[in-house]
Structures are given as structure tokens and as C-alpha cells.
Structure 1
Amino acid sequence: SGDAFPIGITTLSYQASDGFQNSVCTFKITVIEYFPTGGSALSCRSQINLAVNADCEAPVGAGLFLLGNNYHCFDDYTVQFQNQFGFQIGPNLSSHIGQTIYAKVTDPATGNTCTTAVNLADNLAPAVTCLDTIVLPCSIPLQELDPDHLGWPQVEENCSGYTLQYSDQYVALACDDTLFNGEYSAYLRRIWLATDQHGNTSQPCRQLVLLRRFTLADLSFPPHYTDLPGQQPSLNCAAADTSPAFTGAPAIDGQPLYPFAAACEFTVQYTDQQIPFCGGGYTVLRTWIVLDDCQNLFANYVQTIKVTDKTPPTISCPGSLSVGTNWANCTAVLQLPAATYSDNCSAVTSSIHSTAGTVNGNLLTNVPIGVHVVTYRAQDACGNESQCQLQLTVYDGSPPSAVCSPSKFVSLTTTGIANINASVFNSGSSDDCGGSLTFQVRRLSDPCDLA
């Protein structure tokens, strides 16, 4: 049967059955070890070429290196490997592929040795297994056909690292193509090769990518931007991007056909009509035309893109103010400082309002004493409004008007002293803001000075 038998006696039994009874036959095989004649010297080959197998391993039995057959069983000998400097290496020899190493065969019974120079090589190329055929929409961007998107093949290499490279053949198919019955617009044939670190190159592995053809019925059109139910919000004129890259284009399987229809046999164009709106706003009526070059049919579609001013103006108020009243009527009159306004889309109209007094432009009059709030409002051309406020404090800024009697005659008491209330000297003093007045009288510095 081709089986190997060890040294010694091996008993073999065979059994045969005919359905009624069994018959057994037994015999023995005796293997006698060969003993070399004429001495125990070893003779090795001077040099051999040795290639590793699929597991990056090499057979290292003594029979590979010994010359002739006047030896014990080869298993009785030991084999060691050395580098060119005589240092022992192994048992893994993969790091020495491409080098010349030395196999030393030793007879443990006698100590006799011999040596063979071994040119160790890796002659097995990597094996590359490609992915199955892939079917994609013809609208897929060409950059998405690279292996990072589609996947890389499986590579099996026995020993070392490898480099993997590919080449592409892109073939556009005619509308009446018979190779694939007109089902595909194009195909990509990708050929893979792997080369290991020892220069072994794999057999080519061929991968096929088919780009499926579509018709106008497969088209989807971009959405409207109008704020209406079921549609996209309108765009803000402060930073409106109405380009198809943002607002969309006719597409197949989610892949836009504009500005490039890739492998699909479609021609896609559009025209815009712009209708002004309030402020800097406007509406774009975008008419798309898609031509099926294979069937000579077309479809059109009007996309509405509304650009509106949704952002109120920015406004910044002056700081808080504190003013005194006028001399005549106990109210304040002031020119209010201007606020700062800006708007991204249109001109701004502004107004000022106060919780007290009368506002005329920036002039505020008839403001009574107290703390009041002044409100600045800004409105753009589309009615968006913003406001800010400042605090205005009005205080009594005019002193009373003092009117004194030119002279008063006062009688002294028996003690020679007279007490006079200060209000006695008042002769019609008044204050613009009303209220009670406090009077004080001060004697001249020289009581005898009558001048």
C-alpha cells in the first residue's frame, strides 16, 4: 500500500467476509536496519539548491545531503545549519532565503560529519484571489471605482511580504452593444499582480466591474427650496449657495448627473430665471433638461429655489445716559446719540422710542425727572426687526430762584437778642420743579458793616 514500516517486526492482519463467516489472515514483516560496510565516514554533496514549500519550510533530512547509500537509516543522523561564519542558525530558515547557508550532517555514534553548501530559495509566487464581478450604477463617480471603495483582493504568500499593483482597462459600450445585450454603459477590467520580496510574481487576477445603463424613468430630480410643506427650507440671503452642488441635480441611485454624467449616456443642462424679492432676496426658477442619448428622448423639470432675508439687522445701542433738567420747566431736552446698524441683505430703517417725553428723530424733549428706557429699533426691507435699549436718568439740574426782602426791622428782647426764622426773608423764592424749599440765612461777616 506504500506505507513505511519501522525497523523491527510489524504484524499485519487482514479480514475478509462473504456474508456468512469471516476469514482472517495474519503475517509479519521484519525490517532489518542496514549497517554500512567499509567504514563509517560521511560524504556530503558539495552544494545543492533548496526551495521552501508553501509553508515556507524546507526538508532537512540527512538523505538530502549525503552522497551514496552506504549509511544507517537517515533518521539516525542529525542535521544542523550554519551561516557563513560558522554560527548555528534555525530552525526557522525563512530569514535566510536568498543566501547560501551550510548544512552539517553528524553521525552521533561516531562523531563523523560532513557539510553541504545550501542555496536557499523561495520559488513560489503569491496567489491572488479577486473579488466577484461587481455591478454599479453608471452614475457612480470614477474616483469611487478605486480599491478603497470597491475592495482589495485576497493574497496568499508563503514567506515574505509582497507588493500589490493593478492596471485598469475602461471600456465604454455602445448603445446597441451586443456583448452584454445593451444592459451596461461601460465596464472596467482590473488586472491584479502581486510580487513577493524574492521577485516571484503571481498569475494575473482579473476583476470585472459592470456599470449598469439607465433610462429617463430611473431619474430623480432635486427638491424645491420654498418653505412649503414637504419641501426644503428657503435659503438665507446672507449666505445663499444656489449652485447645483448645494441645491442638487438630476440623479440616478442618489448619484448626481451634473456636472458630469460619468458613464451614463445622458446630457444634462439647466437654465436659470431670477425673480427679485424683498430686500436682497430673490427666487430662482431652474429648468433642467436631461437628454437620453441612446433613446433620443428628453425630460425637463423646473426647480424652485427661494432666497429670503431671514436674519434681522444687527444693532448696538449707546451706553446709559444721565442728564439734568432745563431751567424753565423741570424737563430735560437732549439729542440722543445714534445706534449702529447693519444688515447682510438690505437697507435698514430705524426708529427711537422712549417711555417718557416726546421723540422727534434723535431729539427727545419734555422728559421728566426719573429713570426711563429708550428703545432703538431697526427693521430691514423684509420686515425682520431687532432692538436694543439704554437707560436714561433725568435729574433736577437747575437751582431754585431766590428772592429776598430788601430789609427787615426786628425788635430786640430785653436780653438784647432777636431770633428770626430764615423764611421771614423770603419774598417769592421758587423752583422750576416745585416742592418745598429749604431756607438758610447767614449773617454778614461784620455785623456792624452797614455798607
Structure 2
Amino acid sequence: MRQMLRILFVLWTATCLSSVAWAADPPVAMCNNVTVEADANCSAMASIDDGSYDPGGGILTLIQVPAGPYPLGETVVKLIVVAESGLADTCEATVTVVDMTPPTVICPADIVVDNEPGQCGAYVSYDITATDNCSIVSPLGKQGASFYSVGVTIITPVVTDASGNEGTCSFKVIVKDTERPTINCPADIVQGTDPDICGALVNYVMSSSDNCPGVTISSDHPSGSIFPMGVTMVWLKAKDASGNQDSCSFTVTINDTQKPIIACPADMDVDNDAGMCGATVNYDVTATDDCDPNPNVVVTPLSGSFLPIGVSDVVAIATDASGNTETCVFKVTVHDVEKPAVTCPADVMQDNDPDQCGAIVTFTVDATDNCAGVMAAANPPSGAFFPIGITTVTAIATDLAGNEESCQFTVTINDIQKPTAICPGPIEQNNDPAQCSAVVNFDVSATDNCSGSSAIADPPSGSSFPIGTTSVVVVATDIAGLEDTCFFDVTVNDTEKPAVICPANIAETVAQGDTGKVVNFDVSATDN
């Protein structure tokens, strides 16, 4: 009331004195719009003075109407500035009070619950309260039950007042998973060994179920592991994200179904032992097995056996501790490389058979060998017809393996049969015209037990034989140098007349008084 009266007095004084002339200058009122934050009572005190002053430098009295505190929102305020001289000035401005204080939200303590059976979470309800310096637009209060997943859920409720300020708090809803997972083991597994190992890679399928995802399954022998031969117990364990566990077991039985590996040598080629129709042969057969370090090996025939000439099959059988067997076969070929022995007779010398240009000759060739079945053959063979001269006989002994040995000797056939010279009968022939002789042709020949004999006449056929009788000697010679002789006569008769040559007719003159004349002339004659 007193403040109001004071304000009215100041206003009356300022009005009344405004018409009076003063020597001093009035004060200057300066206002400024102001925005201030509301206090806990949703109001605020504020000054709108923006540097009001007294030109005379005196002390000013500032009065705001209304004086405050000011409510939330805008309030128009008048500022009255009064100097010591009593002079005054006024101005107006707006005081805006804004609510910047968020509501206070009260959350419950952290909530801890177990999951509901078969569910990966639980339904949870709670209470939230809030206060504000002004007014709350969205109060929360008691919240209905909501489903929260296993784990920690942080709840941050937000409360908004009329000015849009938000307040919040935070608490946790912790849902514990207390339900164990369920694990499913496969049926017992029976499997054979894999190649090259004494065990087997085994794959199996395991499964589990749980109220929550994230179950991990572990095994002391994981699927895809190599399991040894025999029986192995396998344990599976299922563990969920909360640490709850379940387990089961099954067996894996690995049977040795792999055959041992047997190693036969390559096919063997050996030569016969000296003087023997075969050879003693040694060989090695080895066997390995994935499980049995010493598989049993049986070889037939045994190493060190005497094997005959030719091809022998050697059969080896390896058996491991599980009764698995494997067989290999190789060939041993014993070659007969030993030549047979052949014996030739001494050189043979023989006369020709009568009227033959050679002779039939018989002889014996012997052969021996380390193996039966040796054959001896001579070329030319015994009982063959051998020609006159020296023939080399080669005897070859051949065994069943084709080995050969040879020896040689000579067969000499001597030609002791003389040839026969054949002469023509006596020849009589006239002289050749104008010749005191005649060329006489005739045939002479020779026969012999061998070809190649020849007959030579002296004088030879085609010679010029004189008038009269000439004895011709024919000598037959064979290739062995044996001779035979025959004779015949060649008579040439002169049957040609002589020729008389007269001179030409002669005419002579007789001297007068002569009765004649001596005439000379030549008469001649010619003959063959």
C-alpha cells in the first residue's frame, strides 16, 4: 500500500511540475525488454532499466510498475525515473519470464526378475513420479506390465512441462535367464577307417534348443575330427548366453576296413645259374598298414627258391591284425643264357661216287646243354650230296631258349674219274678253190662226271689243212685236271686243174726271100 501511494505521489508530482519551468534538466529514462528465467515459484524478478541517467549527475530513484515478481510469460512494465530535483521521466518495456527448469522425475530402484518359463524375457511393471516448478504436461505414474528380454534394459522415462522442458531419470530392468538349454546327441556312429590313416574323419549333426537364442555347442571331439580306430565316447555340451548348461554323449566306433598296402618288386629277369636249367632267386616283398605296424606277409614260392627256366608267377599276400588282406603278383623270368655244347667230327675226305660229280657223305654231330631239348643241325646235313671240292660244314646246336653254339669241319670230295674225249670220224675234203689246202671244220667234245670239261683239237677246227692227210689229236680235260685223248685224220684232196697261159696271136713279117722266120713266144702254166 505504501509503495502504491509512493508511486502515485511521484506520478502526481511529475505531472504537476511538468508545466513549471525549471532551471535543471529532467532525468532521462531508458528501458530495455528483458527475458529472465522463472524461479522455483514459476516467477522471476527483473529490471528493465537500460542506463537511465540524470544530466545533472544527481542520484536517481527508479520505480518499476508493476514491481514484480513477474509471472510466467510477458508483462509490460513502466519505469519511472525521478531525479533529486523532483523531475521525472518514464519509459516502458516487456519483461518475459521463461520456464527453463526441467521437471524432476523419480525412477524406481533397478528391478531384477527371472525369465518366464519358455520365454526369453519377463513381463515387468513399475511406478514413475515427477514434480515441476510450473506445471507438468505429461505425467507418467504407474506403468502397465511390458515384456522385457533377458538381459539388462535401461529405461529412461521423459517428463515434459508446459514450457517443453524435459526431465528424465534412469533405472534398469534386469531379466535373468535361469532356464537350461536342451541338447540333442546323434545316434551312436559306426564307420570304417579312411584311406592312409588308422582312423576316420567323422562328421555328425548336433542340435539344441533354448528359450533364448545364442546357444553354443561344444564337443570334446568336434564334428570333422579324426577319430582313432576303436570306440570313442563323445560328450556334447550346450551353453546359453547366461551360462546355463546341458550335456549328452554318444559313441563313435571306427573299424579297420582298409587293406594293408603290399609292395611287390617289379617283374624280375635273371639268368640261369651255371650248368642249371633254372636259378635260385631272392626277392623282397614288404607291407605296411595304417593300424598294424607289422602285417603278416606270405610269399609263394618263397624267396630263395629254385625257379625253372621260363616265367614263374610269385604271389604275395599281406594280412593285417584286423584280417584285411591284400595281394600282389609279380613275374620272375629265368632266362637260359647258357649256350649248348656242339661237337663236330674230324674233317672228311672222300672220292666221288661213280659217274657223279660228288658223293653222298654221312657224319655225326653231337650236342649237349644245361636244359633238355637241345637240337643239332648241320649245313649241309649228314647224308647230303657233296660236290667235288671242299665244302665247309657248319653244325649249329640250338637249345629251347634259342641259344646257339656252332662248330665247323670240311668235307673234301676228290674227282678221280677221267673225262672221255670224243673225236669225229676221218674227214676227207677237197682243196679250197685256188688253194693248196682247205679250211676244215669239225666238232670235238668231251664228257665227264662233272661239268666244265673241255676238248681241244690240234690242229683245231677251222684250221687250214694242207693237201694230204693230217692226224688231229683231241685232248679232253676236266676241272680236276684229268685228261683223255682221241685221234682222227683229215685228208685234203687236190682236185683243181692247172691253168695254161698262151700268148696273144703273133703275126710276123717274113723277109723277102725268106721262107720263114724264127718266132719266139712264152707259154706259162699256174696251179693251186
TM-score (norm 2): 0.32
Structure scoring higher RCO (CA < 8 A, sep ≥ 6) equals: 1
Q: Quick check: which has more Rg, 1 or 2?
A: 2
Larger strand percent:
2
TM-score (norm 1): 0.36
